[in-house]
Amino acid sequence: MEDAPAWRPGADWATLRLRAKMLAQIRAFFALREVLEVETPALSAAAIPDPHLSSFAVHYTGPGSRHGQTLYLHTSPEFAMKRLLAAGSGCIYQIARVFRDGEAGRRHNPEFTLLEWYRVGFDHHRLMDETAALVAELLAGRLSLQKPERLSYQEIFQRRLGLDPHRATVAELAAGAAAQNVPIPSGMPLNDPDPWLNLLLTHRIEPELGQGRLTFVYDYPVSQAALARLRPGDPPVGERFELYLNGVELANGFHELGDAIEQRRRFVAENAVRRAAGLPAMPVDEALLAALAAGLPKCAGVALGFDRLVMLAAGKASIQPTMAFAIDRA
């Protein structure tokens, strides 16, 4: 419906009804498992310092203790949901509208729908089982799927490129990118392998993942652990996973970090990366750190891009035709 007048929805009614049905299925799935639906604020006094994400900022002029403050629209409900977990909520889920500045394209919109849930007592492998069950149920009769597979981050690099992502040097990764005819952006670092790993992943590995099946990639380099626990070993890894289907990244999950001191260290390190890149440092979420210090139950959590899932279920080429009003019609 790209040629429809700008006041009309960009999605057809069949797709909007499909969205509604899938949302109802999600709620039924979690109700059957006695997972509590929660709502948390979209506005926060803190923001995620991840240098790959950009938060929308707003200036609050109303009364109360937040008068005159800059507040941020959340990029995920994760921090507030962890505060609920630390307060004793038990297993919870949320279907949230989230906001990320600077994101637009076939698979991105600055405002989108995120399904996020946390399972107390689960590790990331058990959560992969549940994620596969949910996605298979939502796509049943809409998309034919082979049996799910699980591949470690190390496996996908070794199979496709013959590189060990945990041990390869920047020089080896750069040579691999050149051999694969990957366009190399200017300013790539000479001492940090992560941008090179991400370049190879997005250009040569991701498009081949999950063809006709759910593919879980798990156990990431410790430098990419984000909010996940670390597991010692040779090599040590971050207990994290991502889910792909037909080359589309659908979900990102963690065996959640519960150490407030380590979480603060990661936030400080991420803000240092932001400053080095000329980006503003973001205010650290002290409420989250206090919740972690009080005690986060052992749990695993995952965030799933609902619009992307609808896109695949509806056979669309982008997420915009799955939304009533994407950014170009907002």
Spans of all domains in the chain: 13-145+212-329
**Does 119 have pLDDT greater than 80?**
yes
pLDDT of residue 202: 96
Please write the tens of the pLDDT for every residue from 36-49.
999 999 999 999 99
pLDDT of residue 269: 95
Q: How confident is the model at residue 1 (pLDDT cuts 50, 70, 90)?
A: low
**Helix ranges, 7-123 (H):** 13-32, 78-86
Contacts by residues 127-130 (CB-CB < 8 Å, ≥ 24 positions apart) = 127/241, 127/253, 127/255, 127/300, 127/301, 127/302, 128/216, 128/218, 128/241, 128/243, 128/253
Q: Which CATH superfamily is domain 13-145+212-329 in?
A: Bira Bifunctional Protein; Domain 2 (3.30.930.10)
Q: How many CB atoms lie within 10 A of CB 143?
A: 17
Q: State pTM to two decimals.
A: 0.95
Please write the tens of the pLDDT for every residue from 200-232.
999 999 999 999 999 999 999 999 998 999 999
Using CA atoms, how far apart are residues 117 and 230, in angstroms rounded to an integer?
21
Torsion angle, CA of 42/48/54/55, rounded to 10 degrees? Answer: 30
